[in-house]
Amino acid sequence: MELTTVWFILIAVLWCGYFLLEGFDFGVGMLLPVLGRDDRERRLLINTIGPVWDGNEVWLLVAGGATFAAFPEWYATLFSGFYLPLLLILVALILRGLAFEYRGKSDSPQWKRYWDWAIIGGSIVPAVLWGVAFGNIVRGVPISAEHEYVGGFFNLLNPYALVGGLTTTSLFLLHGAVFLALKTDGEIRARAGAVAVRVAVPAVVLAAGFLLWTQLTHSDVWGWVLSGAAAAALIAGVLAARARREGWAFICTGATIVLAVAALFVTLFPDVMPTTLAGGDSLTTTNAASTPYTLKVMTWVAVCFTPIVLAYQAWTYWVFRRRLRVEHIPAGGH
In SS3 terms, 247-289 reads as HHHHHHHHHHHHHHHHHHHHHHCCEEECECCCCCCCEECCCCC
- 60: containing domain: 3-328
Q: Is the pLDDT of residue 250 over 90?
A: yes
Which residues are bridge partners to 271 per DSSP?
284
Residue 21: inside a domain: yes
Residue 123: inside a domain: yes
Residues 222-238: tens digit of each pLDDT: 989 999 999 999 999 99
Total domains in the chain come to 1
Residues 184-224: tens digit of each pLDDT: 998 999 999 999 999 999 999 999 999 999 998 887 889 89
Distance CA 78, CA 118 (A): 27
The overall average pLDDT reported for the chain is: 91
Q: Is the pLDDT of residue 332 over 80?
A: no
State the pLDDT at residue 129: 95
Contact present, 130 and 19 (Cβ < 8 Å): yes
State the pLDDT at residue 218: 85
State the pLDDT at residue 306: 87
State the pLDDT at residue 15: 95
Residues 96-150: tens digit of each pLDDT: 999 999 998 888 889 999 999 999 999 999 999 999 999 999 998 999 888 888 8
What is the domain-level CATH number for residue 220? Answer: 1.20.1630.10
CA distances for 294 relative to 194, 269, 272, 298, 299, angstroms = 50, 21, 19, 6, 9
CA-angle at 73, arms to 226 and 91, nearest 5°:
80
Residue 334: inside a domain: no
Residues 61-94: tens digit of each pLDDT: 999 999 999 999 999 999 888 999 999 999 999 9
Residue 50: inside a domain: yes
Quote the percentage of the chain above a pLDDT of 70: 99
State the pLDDT at residue 329: 75
Least confident of 118-132, 158-172, 228-242, 312-326: 312-326
State the pLDDT at residue 80: 87
Residue 333: inside a domain: no
Q: Is the pLDDT of residue 252 over 60?
A: yes
Q: Which of 187, 246, 176 minimizes the C-alpha distance to 41? A: 187
State the pLDDT at residue 268: 92
State the pLDDT at residue 321: 87
280 against 226, higher pLDDT: 226
Task: Enumerate residues 6+ apart whose C-beta is below 8 A from 38.
Answer: none
